[in-house]
Structure 1
Amino acid sequence: MDISGTQLRAVRAALFTALVVTLSAASHVLLSRAPLPPATVAAIAAAVFAIAYATAGHERGYGHIAALLIPLELAADTVFTAGQHVCYGEAGGPVAGPLRAVGFDVLCGGAPVGTPLARMTAEGHGTASLLADMDPGAAWLLLGAHIGVGLLAAAWLRRGERALA
């Protein structure tokens, strides 16, 4: 079966994007205990889809899938962290003051993504205190979670590649 057709490439890229963005956003929200700005999630989804579509021309092995999936998840995590700090900052509330003048209020608008997950794990702490008082070990926990989930997701995607081919 030819898996390089445009429609099939788009479907494969969409599935890959859905998996990467969902796993990265959910694990980031659960481990950071803070929601994500919707514009950041949308930007990551668009970037991951473009990369996945460009590389979906033929069947990939487990190593190739994991080599693409894990760095994309880690890059998404970095962007998510930056988005949280820009949008929720030290005060933990909406963007105000000089940042509003340069348009960050547009970036941070809309209902935060993952708010129910963040509320479930926050244990009564505010977003500001969580972002400001992160334990240094949390970064290693987040890295380990992304790598572990990335390896499992790569195995799942590889099985789908094999089934499709």
Structure 2
Amino acid sequence: MDISGTRLRAVRAALFTALVVTLSAASHVLLSRAPLPPATVAAIAAAVFVLAYALAGRERGYGRIAALLIPSELAADTVFTAGQHVCYGEAGGPVAGPLRSVGFDVLCGGTPVGTPLARMTADGHGGAAALLADAEPSAAWLLLGAHVAVGLVAAAWLRRGERALAQLLRAVAGATFRPLLR
């Protein structure tokens, strides 16, 4: 059975987007200790959905999934960080002055995503900038290694899910048409 049907593609892409963006945003807020702007999260969700829908046409191997997932994860992290810096400043506080008058209130408007998580992990720190100011140079390499490791594990998990879905659909198709063969 083909796993590339339009309805099935849309459902797969929507579930993938919901899971990936929720986990990515929550982990980014927990690690950076600053909330995310809602427009940034919405933009990442839209991009992930479009990419997942476009690539859900056929079963992919582990290497191809990992080759797409790791750069996408790093790009999403970069966009989240840029959104935090633009909307809340480098110290995690609101940006005031000429930046607001240029129209960033549209980009940064609304309730920040993950504010309770950011408050829970704050412990009196000033946000991501305060954490990075005290960090050692090796912290950037450790963070990159963590991203790559999580991407590789997620790619393996996605590959197993792809294979399981294809096997399930083949089994359902076989069981559905078996009575007609008699």
Output one character per residue of 1:52-106: Cα deviation in whole Å (capped at 9) or x when no partner: 1111110111111111111111000000110011011146333321111211111
State the Cα distance separating 1:134 from its structure 2 match. 5.8
Question: Using the alignment, how far apart are the partners of 1:112 and 1:77 within structure 2?
Answer: 17
The aligned residue for residue 87 of structure 1 is 87
The aligned residue for residue 47 of structure 2 is 47
Unaligned runs of 5+ in 2: 167-182
The aligned residue for residue 125 of structure 1 is 125
Residues 59 and 162 of structure 2 are in contact (CA less than 8 Å); yes or no, is this contact kept in structure 1? yes
What is the number of equivalent residue pairs in this alignment?
165
Question: Using the alignment, how far apart are the partners of 1:131 and 1:97 within structure 2?
Answer: 25
The aligned residue for residue 152 of structure 1 is 153
Question: Using the alignment, how far apart are the partners of 2:76 and 2:8 within structure 1?
Answer: 25
Question: Using the alignment, how far apart are the partners of 1:131 and 1:85 within structure 2?
Answer: 14
TM-score between both structures, scaled by the size of structure 2: 0.81
The aligned residue for residue 178 of structure 2 is none
The aligned residue for residue 4 of structure 2 is 4
Alpha-carbon spacing, 1:152–1:159, altered in 2? closer, same or farther (3 Å): same
Instruction: Pick which of 3-12 and 107-116 moved more.
Output: 107-116
Residues 90 and 128 of structure 1 are in contact (CA less than 8 Å); yes or no, is this contact kept in structure 2? yes
Residues 37 and 113 of structure 2 are in contact (CA less than 8 Å); yes or no, is this contact kept in structure 1? yes
- The correspondence of residues 23-42 of structure 1 with structure 2, limited to 5 A, is 23-42=23-42
The aligned residue for residue 63 of structure 2 is 63
Question: Using the alignment, how far apart are the partners of 1:110 and 1:130 within structure 2?
Answer: 25
State the Cα distance separating 1:47 from its structure 2 match. 0.7
| AA aligned opposite 2:150 | V
State the Cα distance separating 1:21 from its structure 2 match. 1.7
| AA aligned opposite 2:79 | V
State the Cα distance separating 1:132 from its structure 2 match. 6.7
State the Cα distance separating 1:133 from its structure 2 match. 2.5
TM-score between both structures, scaled by the size of structure 1: 0.89
- For the aligned residues, what is the CA RMSD? 2.0
Residues 34 and 115 of structure 2 are in contact (CA less than 8 Å); yes or no, is this contact kept in structure 1? yes
Between structure 1 and structure 2, the one with the greater Rg is: 2
Partner-residue secondary structure (3-state), 1:110? coil
Unaligned runs of 5+ in 1: none
The aligned residue for residue 179 of structure 2 is none
Question: Using the alignment, how far apart are the partners of 1:87 and 1:131 within structure 2?
Answer: 18
Residues 84 and 92 of structure 2 are in contact (CA less than 8 Å); yes or no, is this contact kept in structure 1? no
Alpha-carbon spacing, 1:91–1:147, altered in 2? closer, same or farther (3 Å): closer
